[in-house]
Structure 1
Amino acid sequence: MAILSADQRELFLPLVEGIHESPPFGAFMRNLVARTYARRAFMILTLANAGPAQQPSVIHVAAPRAAHEPPLDFRRLDALRLHPYGALRPERVYALDEMLDYDRPAQLAHQRAALDEMGIRYGRWLRVSAGGVADAWLLLVREREDFSAAAVATLAGIAPHLAAALRTLVALIDQRLQATMAQRALARLGIGQLAFDGLGRVMAADPVAESVLAFTPEPGPRPGRRLQLLPETTRALDAACAELAEAEPGAIRLLRLDERTGRGLLLRKADLDLSEPAATPAVIGTLRLQRRESAAAGAAVLAAEHGLSPREAALAQAISAGQGIIEAGEALGLTSETARNYSKRIYAKTATSGQADLVRLVLAGLTPLA
């Protein structure tokens, strides 16, 4: 099939851009419906590593003339036991007649009656497989006349491009999952991070940093942002970034952001191993908020990690949060003597030599991530 400029503009480019949409490929599906003169359509997306209970993503599209009609009921279609989706040969376009059960007349009559009731007289199915990591099923339907040969050729022609877009989408989903897991873990610890270039401009900031710091657009034609700071602090940040950009690996600087709150930013020469091409930051800035896990969650982790009783775990968690043994015991309804006895059992079970050693153990373990 010859690739026309309209194909690139209306189908191929929306496939590339569609991986960033939520749900993906909405513009592509709308354009595909318009190009093939379909009345209604849907795309079902399934990921190979999705859990059994996770529902597939379904993108419904209707032509303007069918905007008042309900979307295609893919669950009802599935219940009709048409040609099994998984058995469709990838990248081959199937006509609706090929999906019907001609071997069983009663089932065939039931299928046709249900399809007529849903306003489906003509249809084209297409399955696209992305190397075993994802699958997409497209159904385009018409009511009054069948699809033209040009429409079927358009469907067949976009199949390999959709497969490539699916593979890219799955890779992006994997990267998003990794980034989200890392960000959530850091957020539980109250850690925020920023990436700076050698001039002190902010290249990226995680959600914690975004929530507690103020930003201002970079003046001039070049896009970017800067931290909104006092002039002398801005100059100190710019100087530190310029210095660290030329420093040896492992070099660090501490920048005081706010004397009133005492909030500081630890600046480290960036040592990220990024795949090319990449805009590599010169400096990574890290800030830390005073944030701890909930008492109940922390106690549950301590009990599981070290075999503590619920009361012992609650006392150990309170001690790690800065309370004294007697104070923490009173909050738990323990007498001073009982609290001391509990603490001795805690030290024995955790193999710690005292209160300071216990705090070190708790803060270095899994409890702060609860």
Structure 2
Amino acid sequence: MAIARADETDLLLPLHEGVHEARPWTTFLTRLRQRVRADEAGLIISAGLEERETHLLVPATATIPDDRSWRRALRPGRAYAIEEREGFGRVVRVDEPGGAAAWLAMRRKERDFTAADAALLARLAPHLAIALRTRRALDQGRAALELSEEALARAGIAWVGFDGDGRILSMSKGAVAVLGARWAGSGVGSVVASLKDDAPQVVRVRDEASPWILLIPYREPLEASWPRLATIGLVATRRMGDEQARAAVLATLFGLPPSEAKLAAAIAGGASLSEAADQLGLTIETARNYSKRLFAKTRTRGQLDLVRLIGSSVARLV
């Protein structure tokens, strides 16, 4: 039996749109609860092998049964009665191709659900599977973006994506901080549109006092249904840095004691030997003695060589 036209509007649209809600599918669960006159509606999502579950309940005080062994024994796509001492319930299991599973459930305290209510739950199952797959892809994309943002921020890099006409498609948080949320690429669009082959260009963002932006042509491997990314703009930002953490990394990389590792971290941060001594509360003679042992252990010939070594190691990312 097909889903009624009214249910397409009241249930299917909120179900598919619910992947974009901050608390996903809250509107859908509210509508489902109203549609079948249930006291409670809930969605329990399991992240597969991690055994990590998310419970989305309407109202927030709902008490959908939480027996994992019983739920996991259900066949996907079929509506089952929930066995409990007080009240009546129905649940359907949905498996997502990526390995997640979900259970859509509803409960009443006073009277049992009809066969039509259970059938509606079963008919919603394939649509819920699609919505789960979409939400999983969105969450994975967000996680990848957050990791990329963190890594690039540590390296002191921000990015802007342009289409073929020089319009901004997206900006990293670092780029927003440096260029401003309302920056529209004034004076850059014509340069972006004129880029040829694989020749990078550098231009000022706005005027002589503004940051430089490096423009690199991008060849997108897949066709997209929206404006395609044509150019990547890279902007240098202030690197995230933690000298204590960098000293700990340097100690591990080169087998340095804490005192020498702290001196190496200070020098790598741009301090001269005397400045590093002041920062660390050392006399200049003590700093010189540390530096000699430091150069010997790292097989470097002086401060410049040491900075170059650290700059080519993973310690520069801390």
TM-score normalised by the chain length of structure 1: 0.79
Q: Quick check: 1:61 aligned with 2:58?
A: yes
User: Could you say which residue in structure 1 is the equivalent of 2:255?
Assistant: 307
The 1:33–1:292 alpha-carbon spacing in structure 2 relative to 1, beyond 3 Å, is closer
**1:172 equivalent among 111, 124, 138:** 138
Query: Residue deviations 1:43-86, cap 9 Å, x none?
Result: 11121254x6x5x3221214xxxxxxx72234xx33xx586222
Q: Quick check: 1:350 aligned with 2:308?
A: no
User: Could you say which residue in structure 2 is the equivalent of 1:242?
Assistant: 193
Which amino acid is 2:55 matched to? V
The answer (yes or no) to whether the contact 1:93–1:156 under 8 Å persists in 2 is yes
Which amino acid is 1:3 matched to? I
User: Could you say which residue in structure 2 is the equivalent of 1:33?
Assistant: 33
Identity, % of aligned pairs?
40
Distance 1:14 1:275 in 2: 29
Structure 1, unmatched stretches of 5+, are: 63-69, 101-111, 217-224, 228-233
Q: Quick check: 1:226 aligned with 2:216?
A: no
Distance 1:369 1:143 in 2: 58
The 1:30–1:348 alpha-carbon spacing in structure 2 relative to 1, beyond 3 Å, is same
The 1:240–1:72 alpha-carbon spacing in structure 2 relative to 1, beyond 3 Å, is same
Task: Quote the offset at 1:369 in angstroms.
Answer: 2.5
User: Could you say which residue in structure 2 is the equivalent of 1:87?
Assistant: 73
| Counterpart secondary structure, 2:184 | strand
Task: Quote the offset at 1:275 in angstroms.
Answer: 5.6
The answer (yes or no) to whether the contact 2:98–2:133 under 8 Å persists in 1 is no
The answer (yes or no) to whether the contact 1:133–1:170 under 8 Å persists in 2 is no
Find runs of 4+ consecutive structure 1 residues off by over 3 angstroms.
Answer: 258-262, 271-278
| Counterpart secondary structure, 1:176 | helix
Q: Quick check: 1:71 aligned with 2:20?
A: no
Task: Quote the offset at 1:272 in angstroms.
Answer: 4.0
**1:364 equivalent among 277, 297, 312:** 312
Task: Quote the offset at 1:23 in angstroms.
Answer: 1.9
Distance 1:292 1:353 in 2: 28
The answer (yes or no) to whether the contact 1:40–1:140 under 8 Å persists in 2 is yes
Task: Quote the offset at 1:162 in angstroms.
Answer: 0.8
Q: How many positions carry a matched residue from both structures?
A: 318
Distance 1:42 1:348 in 2: 65
Q: Quick check: 1:191 aligned with 2:149?
A: no
Task: Quote the offset at 1:123 in angstroms.
Answer: 0.7
Which amino acid is 2:94 matched to? V
User: Could you say which residue in structure 2 is the equivalent of 1:129?
Assistant: 95
The answer (yes or no) to whether the contact 1:190–1:289 under 8 Å persists in 2 is yes
User: Could you say which residue in structure 1 is the equivalent of 2:11?
Assistant: 11
Task: Quote the offset at 1:188 in angstroms.
Answer: 2.0
Which amino acid is 2:197 matched to? E
The 1:360–1:278 alpha-carbon spacing in structure 2 relative to 1, beyond 3 Å, is farther
Task: Quote the offset at 1:40 in angstroms.
Answer: 1.1
Structure 2, unmatched stretches of 5+, are: none
User: Could you say which residue in structure 2 is the equivalent of 1:161?
Assistant: 127
The answer (yes or no) to whether the contact 2:243–2:262 under 8 Å persists in 1 is yes
The 1:19–1:174 alpha-carbon spacing in structure 2 relative to 1, beyond 3 Å, is same
Which amino acid is 1:191 matched to? I
Task: Quote the offset at 1:180 in angstroms.
Answer: 1.1
User: Could you say which residue in structure 2 is the equivalent of 1:335?
Assistant: 283
RMSD: 2.3
Which amino acid is 1:327 matched to? E
The answer (yes or no) to whether the contact 1:197–1:282 under 8 Å persists in 2 is yes
The 1:262–1:82 alpha-carbon spacing in structure 2 relative to 1, beyond 3 Å, is closer
The answer (yes or no) to whether the contact 1:36–1:154 under 8 Å persists in 2 is no
